Structure 1
Amino acid sequence: MSLKKAYLLIISILLIDQISKIYIKTHFFINEEVKVFEWFRIHFIENEGMAWGAEIPGEYGKLVLTLFRIIAVGGIAWWLCDAVKKNSSNFLIVAIALIFTGALGNIIDSVFYGVIFNDSYHQVATAFSNDPYGTWFHGEVVDMFYFPIWEGNLPSWLPGVGGKHFTFFNAIFNVADVAISTGVGILIVFNKRAFAHADKEEVSAE
């Protein structure tokens, strides 16, 4: 795959990610939910940008997270260019492009959303508000896809968790998260194909 095609893939997914986030941000308030199906809902939440809503404690935790992710995205961008330059497998190039796009999509939220939008608590946010909810590098990541495939009380005979309420699948995510997960999934499931070119180079060098 050429770098041009990789760029087209990145731009396309990034546009879908940002359009969906901006739409949710400007049409929903925090925790508002629309039930599409019983097992699929649009549920608007915001988080610091770490997996499963985890946070880095401290006054500068959010800033550290955002700066770390910017550095990581720079490294992924270099990896993508290097993979294309070495004519690596399309599986590898697509996987890297997806991971890069997902990371960049969430970084945009973290860097810009805090100064573009006002808060979404009990109200629908407006863009370019005179009362933004945050500052540069301190924006919240917008999530909206929720798939509570099964919800109920676990059997009482299960050790430790018996009788407790449980939801599968309870993560709420966005298009950027899907891109990252898909990219990582490709690297895991199609590992041999993704790194086939590199393996051949190692064999020829020996």
Structure 2
Amino acid sequence: MKAYTKPFFAIFFILIADQVLKFWIKLNMSLGQEYKIIGDWAIIHFTENNGMAFGMEFGGEAGKLALTLFRIVAVLGIGYGLVYMIKRKYHRGLIMNLSLIFAGAMGNIIDSTFYGVIFSESSYYEPAKFLPAEGGYSSLFHGKVVDMFYVPIIQGTYPAWFPFWGGQELIFFRPVFNLADSAISIGVIMILIYQKRYFKEEKEEEVYTHSEVVEE
């Protein structure tokens, strides 16, 4: 059980932090409302999306349902893989990063699955209500994902000679995201950066095990 402690604690912490922040945003901020944390470089900006991470969209009500169901199937697969890796004693870094991805996926699934049922519609005039008497703004599996982090650390204008966007406004980073998105991104990036280290250890373990079997 000790091998499960750190990954499960990380998952629990990220899920709780993600949902507490989203609940606070929904119940205390109207759509488009924002608070500047570090000047114009780090802003809490409340927005919602019907689709994927970082505000990307995916085709209407049917697409929304398909995306939510796909997320659920995917997170079940990730959860199975995580338990498998823990049992097989894979590299701790790989397990921890997969835990981040799992927690982030779960965080956004909660929004997509339940928020339409438990919250009233957020508007540009007032915050949402929790468990409103008239019912939620949508049905099960059709909730909107809450986003709030906006970090336009580079702002300006593309040079006139720049292909396609010459003379247009330049903002980096433009998408608004949430804690769950951050956990997924960090997990994926860390796996890509350290993949050789993670999987080299597994290959060496396989070779060692195979040699033991041959000797026997």
Q: Same fold (TM over 0.5)?
A: yes
Identity among equivalent positions (%) equals 46
Deviation string 1:114-172 (CA, Å, 9 cap, x unpaired) is 00100111211111112311110000000000001122221112122111112111011
Q: Which residue of 1 aligns with 2:8?
A: 7
RMSD: 1.4
Letter of the 1:128 partner, please give it.
Answer: L
Aligned pair count reads 206
* Rg larger in structure: 2
Distance 1:65 1:177 in 2: 16
Deviation string 1:43-66 (CA, Å, 9 cap, x unpaired) is 001012313423232441111110
Q: Which residue of 2 aligns with 1:81?
A: 83
Distance 2:163 2:178 in 1: 33
2:130 to 127, 130, 142: 127
Distance 1:160 1:197 in 2: 45
Query: Unmatched 5+ residue regions in structure 2?
Result: 212-216
Q: Which residue of 1 aligns with 2:48?
A: 46
TM-score, normalization: structure 1? 0.95
Query: Unmatched 5+ residue regions in structure 1?
Result: none
1:116 to 112, 118, 126: 118
TM-score, normalization: structure 2? 0.91
Name the SS for the 1:173 alignment partner. coil
CA contact (8 A) 2:104 2:179 kept: yes
Deviation string 1:93-121 (CA, Å, 9 cap, x unpaired) is 00110000000000000011000100111
CA contact (8 A) 1:42 1:144 kept: yes
Letter of the 1:111 partner, please give it.
Answer: T
Name the SS for the 1:172 alignment partner. coil
When residues 173 and 193 of structure 1 are mapped into structure 2, their CA distance, relative to the original with a 3 A threshold, is same
Distance 2:112 2:95 in 1: 26
Distance 1:59 1:26 in 2: 25
